[in-house]
Chain A
Amino acid sequence: MSILIDAETTFIVQGITGREAVNLTRECLDYGAGAKIVGGVTPGRLGREVHGVPVFDTVAQAVEHHGAPIDGSVVTVPPAFTKDAVFEAIENGIKLIVIVTERIPRRDVAQMVELATLRGARIIGPNCLGIIVPDVIKMGGIGGPARNAAQAYTPGPIGVISRSGGMTTEMSSTLSASGLGQSTAVSIGGDAIIGSSYAELMPQFEADEQTQGIVIYTEPGGRMEAELAHWVTEDNSRLPIVAFMAGRFMDEMPGMSFGHAGTIVEGKEDTATEKIARLAQAGITVAERIEDIPDLIGAKIAERSAV
C-alpha cells in the first residue's frame, strides 16, 4: 500500500497552463499507471486542453464535470494568488492539496493550513515537489519526467520524508540502488511553516503495512525535528527512523539562510547540533553520509523484526 495517494486518486492541477505545470501534468500522466488528472484550472482558459486534460475557469466547474468529489489538487499558481487557489480547492471539497509554489508569505500559509484543518483537508508544501508512490502514481514534479522518476524510485518498505525536493530523489535513488524500495516518498517543502511536518505524516506511515522504516532529510531552522523526536517518544512508534542532517556548517553562521527559506536559525534549538542531539535522544539514528543510510535503516528494521 501507500500513504496519501494510490492508483485510484483523482486530482486537478490549478494553474495548469503555466510552463512548469504543463510539464508536471505530462510527467504525472506518463508515470506508473498514469495519474487520473481529471481537470485543470486557469481562470479565463475554459475550454482549452493540456495534454488532453480539460481546463476550467473554476474548481467548481472541474468538480461538476467530473461528476464526483475530486481527491486532490496540485497548486502551481504565483505566490500572490496561491492562498485564494487553495481556499477555492478546500471549499470545493478537495482533501489533499500539494502546493508547489515558492516564496509564499508565512501568514498566507498559516491561513491555508488553518482552513484545511477546519475542513479536514491536508496540505503538503508549499515549496515542495509532491508525493510519489513508486511505479504507481506521482502527484507533483517529484522525480521529474516519468523515465527519470522510474530510474530513482522503486517500490519497497521505506517511507521517505524530506524538506528538500531534490534530496528526496537522491536519497530514494541511494535506497533503490541497495535494493530498498520506497512505499511512499513525500517532499514536504522547505519553508518555515508547512502543511504537513514529519510528525504529522508519521501516523499515516505507522498505519501503512508496507512501510517498515522511515528515512528523513532534515536541515537547520525550525522545530520540526524536535516535534518528530517528541512524537516518536510519546507514541512508541513501531517504525525505525534514520535521519540525514544537511547544513551543519550553518551553525557557525546564525541569522543567515541557505538553501531554503525555512533554514534560518532563529533560536538555539534550531541549530544542526541541537537537532542531531534531540533526534539521537529519541532513538533516531543520524547518518553522517547519504550512502550509509541503506545499511543503517536495513539493520534497524532487522533488529525490530528480530524482537
Chain B
Amino acid sequence: MRFFEYEAREVVKRAGIPVTDYGFTTEASEAKQIAERIGGPTVIKSQVLTGGRMKAGGVKFADTPEEAEAHARDILALEINGHMPRGVLVDPKAEVAQEYYAGVVWDGTRKQPVMIFSPVGGIDIEQVAEEQPEKVGRRHFSNILPLSDFEAKEVIASTGVTGSALNKLVPIVTRLAKLFVENDMTLAEINPLGQLKDGSFVALDAHMDIENEARGRHKKLLADLGVGDEETRQAREATPFELAGEEVDATDHRGVAGNVTEFDGNLGLVIGAGGGSLTLFDAVRAHGGEPANYCEIGGNPSVAKACGLAKLVLQKPGVDKIAVMMSIVSNTRVDIVARGVIKACLELGYDPAEKIAIFRIPGAWEEEGFKILEKYGVEYADRSVSLNEAARRAVEKIQGVAP
C-alpha cells in the first residue's frame, strides 16, 4: 500500500531523518496559517497517489500566505489522472544547493534489500541509471545480520561523494534502510534529498510503500497516520461491484470466492484458481470475448459462497451468460461449485442450461459434479477439453454463433 507524501514524510521524520517544517491540511484557510507560521516563500503540493502532479499543476510556489491560500484552494479542487487530492502539503521553499537520491527496495532475485544512492536527485532514478550509471550506487544488505554504518558509507562513497557530505549522509541512508526493514516497506525513497546552502541535508519528498501482508503488524503506525483498515489504495478505487465481491468472500471462512475486478463486457466469469484465472481471462480475450469481470475461486469454498459470487456476476448489468471454468482442482470440489452456480441461476429465476455457457472444472469429485450438471442440462467439459477450448466455446455461445 502506497503512502501519501505527507504520511511518508512523517515516517521519515520518525526515523530521525531531518525533514522541512511542513504542514498538511485539507482546508485552504489552514494553508494560509501554515504559511504564516513558516514565514517565507512556500511550495503548495497536491497530495495524490499518482505521478505527474507537477505537470498537471498540482505543485505551486507562493511568496505570501495569501498566495498560499489561493493556490491551496485551486489545488484542492484539481483532479489529477482521475484522483482528487487528499489534501495539500505546505512546505517551506528550501534553498537547495544540490539534490541527491536515496532509496531502498527489494531485490527478489538476490532475496535481499538493496540500498540505492545517487548524487543526482530530483529526477527518476531509472533515468539516472540509464544516462549516468557511474552516478548510481547499489548495495545489498543482510536480512539477518545487524545493519552497520559502513554499508551506507560504501554505497555513498562508490558514487564519488566524499568530505563532510559523506559523513552527513551515512546516518541518513542507514536510517532509511532501517525504517525500510522495520516497517515492512517494499519501497522507501527520499527524492530529492536536498543539501542546503549551509551543507546540511533535509528530505524534500518521500515515497513509501508498505507490504499489504504486513499491515497487521504495523497497526500503531497506520493508526497514527490515520490510515483505515478499509483503505487498500489500489491503482484505482474499488467499484461497488468489487466491494460486493469482497462481501461475498467474507460470508464464511471456507475457501475463497472473490478477488473480483470489474470489466465492462457481457460474459460473466466464475473462474479459478490463481493461475487458472489468469490463463482463462487471457483465453477469453484471445477468442474475442469481452469479460464482465475477473474473479478467483479456490481453497474449496462453501456452496453459499460460490452461489453468492455467481449471483453477483449474473446480476451485473450487461451480463448475458456466465462461464464457470477452473484449472484441474484438487482441493476445491467440482460438485460444490456446480451446486453453487446452479443454485444462483435458480434463485434468480434463470434456467441454468441457458445462463451457464459452459462449465469446465475437472478434478476432485467430478463424477458427482457432472451428475448435477447433467440433471440441469448444463454443458460441461472434463479435462480432455483445454482451458483455451472451454473459453472458446463460451465466447462462441455468447456471440450466438452456432457451434
Contacts and interface: CB of A to CB of B under 8 A. Distances in A.
Physical contact A–B (CB less than 8 Å)? yes
Interface of A: 79-80, 103-107, 109-111, 113-115, 118, 141-145, 148-149, 152, 162-167, 169-170, 173-174, 177, 190, 192-193, 197, 217, 219, 222-224, 226-227, 244, 246-250, 253-256, 258-263, 266-267, 288-291
Nearest to A152: B328
Given A167-B276, A247-B282, A106 B328 contact: no
Interface string B300-336: 0000000000000000000000000011111100000
A152 B384 CA distance: 11
Nearest to B210: A105
26 contacts: A103-B213, A105-B184, A105-B214, A107-B214, A110-B106, A141-B330, A144-B330, A144-B364, A145-B364, A148-B330, A148-B363, A165-B273, A166-B273, A166-B275, A166-B298, A170-B387, A173-B328, A192-B106, A217-B275, A246-B278, A249-B278, A258-B294, A289-B388, A290-B386, A290-B388, A291-B388
Nearest to B209: A266
Interface in B204-252: 211-214, 216-217, 234-236
Contact of A167 (B144, B184, B327): B327
Closest 9 CB pairs of A and B: A144-B330, A164-B275, A255-B235, A105-B214, A167-B275, A246-B278, A247-B278, A170-B327, A259-B274
B5 interface: no
Given A105-B184, A114-B111, A290-B387, A219 B278 contact: yes
A255 B282 contact: no
B371 interface: no
Interface string B125-150: 01000000000000000111000000
B389 interface: yes
A64 to B, nearest CB: 27
Contacts of A110: 106, 111-113, 143
B282 A248 contact: yes
B181 A107 contact: yes
Given A107-B143, A173-B383, A143 B330 contact: yes
B386 A162 contact: no
B29 interface: no
B233 to A, nearest CB: 10
Most A C-beta atoms less than 10 A away, residue of B272, B331, B386: B331
Interface string B320-364: 000000111111000000000000000000000000000000011
Interface string B262-288: 000000000011111111011101100
A306 B387 CA distance: 33
A114 B278 contact: no
Nearest to B279: A246
A249 B213 contact: no
A47 B234 CA distance: 47
Given A79-B213, A249-B282, A259 B234 contact: no
Given A114-B143, A164-B274, A164-B275, A177 B384 contact: yes
Contact of B211 (A80, A105, A197): A105
Nearest to B274: A259
B274 A166 contact: yes
A263 B211 CA distance: 14
B109 A148 contact: no
A256 B234 contact: yes
A97 B93 CA distance: 54
Contacts of B328: 152, 166, 169-170, 173
Contacts of B383: 152, 173, 177
Contacts of B363: 144, 148, 169
B276 A164 contact: yes
Contacts of B259: 258
Nearest to A163: B275
A118 B142 CA distance: 11
Contacts of B144: 111, 114-115, 118
B330 A149 contact: yes
Nearest to B330: A144
B209 to A, nearest CB: 9
Contacts of B216: 80
Given A113-B111, A166-B276, 5 more contacts: A107-B181, A145-B330, A169-B363, A193-B111, A261-B212
A19 to B, nearest CB: 10
Contacts of A169: 327-328, 330, 363
B258 to A, nearest CB: 12
Contacts of A170: 275-276, 279, 327-328, 387
Contacts of A263: 278
Contacts of B181: 107
B275 A258 contact: no
Contacts of B109: 197, 223-224, 226-227
Contacts of B281: 247, 249, 258
Interface string B158-194: 0000000000000000000000010010100000000
A258 to B, nearest CB: 6
Most B C-beta atoms less than 10 A away, residue of A192, A255, A256, A259: A259
A263 to B, nearest CB: 8
A210 B184 CA distance: 42
A102 B342 CA distance: 30
B146 to A, nearest CB: 13
B108 interface: yes
B282 A106 contact: no
Contacts of B98: none
Contact of B277 (A111, A162, A258, A262): A258
Contacts of A162: 275
A190 B274 contact: yes
Nearest to A263: B278
A267 B130 CA distance: 14
Contacts of A254: 235
B386 A174 contact: yes
B273 A223 contact: no
A224 B110 CA distance: 10
B261 interface: yes
A53 B28 CA distance: 68
A246 B184 contact: no
